Copies of this chain bind each other. A is one copy, B any other.
Amino acid sequence: MAGVTLAQIIARLGGELKGNEAIRIVRVAPLETAVAGDISFLSNPRYTKQLAETKASAVILKPQFAAGSPVACIITPQPYLYFAYLAQWLTPVDNAAPGIHHSATVETNIPASVSVGPGAWIGTGAKIGKNVQIGAGCTVGKGAEIGADSRLYPQVSIYAGCRIGLRAIIHSGAVIGSDGFGFAQEKDRSWVKIPQNGRVFIGDDVEIGANTTIDRGAMEDTIIENGVKLDNQIQVGHNVHIGAHTAMAGCVGIAGSAKIGRHCTVGGGVVILGHLKIGDDVNISAGTLVAKSILKPGNYTGTVPSLPHQDWLKNFAHLRHLDTMADKIRALESRLAQLEKKS
């Protein structure tokens, strides 16, 4: 690629230029490893030292850091956001050519602009929007719907009747619409399956990571609102509701019927118990178990520090005896009060 000039970048994305507008940019790169032709960004003040030494041709940064840049710079209040749009522009996208691969099985009518990869299957009654890309080996169940401009990477499984909005990105191994986990117990204590007769409804602009699973609802639907971003290996139970623009890192587990608000962030490995309510604007730290509803916006944490094993042994053994420790403190307080009275 011949790249774009800083002048072209400013014309399209705004910002204030300090430096030669004819400089050509071909690639985004980190401050530390950038070379001529690269553009970097500085968002976190921690990296100002890297700025001073960068070999990039230009850097995107906030006004207060412009003076410290040894190279041309684009000044903007939100460098990382600016960088995101620029990186989208500079990074070539490898779209699949429209058409149905001869080894695919398509049992419904689809637009000519759709691409269906080798070995994929699309069941009867499925509705596929314009420009959708269905990767090799994907399976799309009967009556499922996939909105225009969505991309399914290879080996995604969409169960019957589920509905996915516009511009979705779904990664390999994701499963949408598997049965929720619902059983009644018989007198002999064997389990009797509750039919999972709901569906999964996914809004627009949702990204779903590799091997993430989203169960269909029972009696009602599992709902993922617009703009939600789910990382890899997340498990979403039946009848869960995730509000718009909430983002979750990898390995999160959400039990059935939990209702999660809008604009939340959920760290990696978090477990959210069933039937809880998490309000809007709640941020949960990685590794936290959420066992009670959280209605107030803010940051929530529930993790223990890791220690050298011997220190851990010495300190954490007391966890089994905290109640005794509390009792001892109370006893000390009353004995001391006795003495104080006397003295």
Contacts and interface: CB of A to CB of B under 8 A. Distances in A.
Interface of A: 28-30, 33, 78, 80-81, 83-85, 87-88, 91, 94, 101, 103, 105, 117-119, 121, 135-137, 139, 141-142, 153-155, 157, 159-160, 169, 171-173, 175, 178-179, 181, 183-187, 189-195, 197, 205, 207, 209-211, 213, 215, 219-220, 227, 229, 231-233, 235, 237, 245, 247, 249-251, 253, 255, 263, 268-269, 271, 273, 284-292, 294, 296, 298-309, 311-316, 318-323, 325-326, 328-329, 332-333, 335-336, 339-340, 342-343
A269 B335 CA distance: 45
Given A227-B190, A232-B213, A329-B328, A137 B139 contact: yes
B249 A181 contact: yes
A316 to B, nearest CB: 7
A273 B268 contact: yes
Contacts of A287: 271, 289, 291
Nearest to A303: B289
B84 A183 contact: yes
A195 B88 contact: yes
A318 B294 CA distance: 20
B157 A153 contact: yes
Contacts of A308: 296, 298-300
A40 to B, nearest CB: 9
A306 B290 contact: yes
Given A139-B172, A291-B303, 18 more contacts: A81-B186, A81-B192, A87-B194, A87-B197, A139-B154, A159-B172, A169-B193, A173-B213, A181-B249, A191-B245, A213-B250, A233-B233, A233-B253, A249-B255, A269-B289, A290-B306, A305-B316, A305-B320
Contacts of A213: 173, 209-211, 232-233, 250
Contacts of A160: 94
Given A316-B304, A339-B339, A191 B28 contact: no
Contacts of A232: 175, 178, 181, 213, 215, 235
Contacts of A30: 219-220
A211 B175 contact: yes
Nearest to A310: B299
Contacts of A288: 306
Sorted nearest first, the 4 A-B pairs with minimum C-beta distance are A302-B306, A91-B195, A157-B172, A299-B309
A139 B121 contact: no
Contacts of A80: 184
A175 B172 CA distance: 7
A269 B271 contact: yes
15 contacts: A136-B139, A139-B154, A141-B154, A172-B178, A175-B232, A181-B250, A190-B245, A213-B232, A237-B250, A268-B273, A300-B307, A300-B309, A328-B333, A335-B340, A343-B343
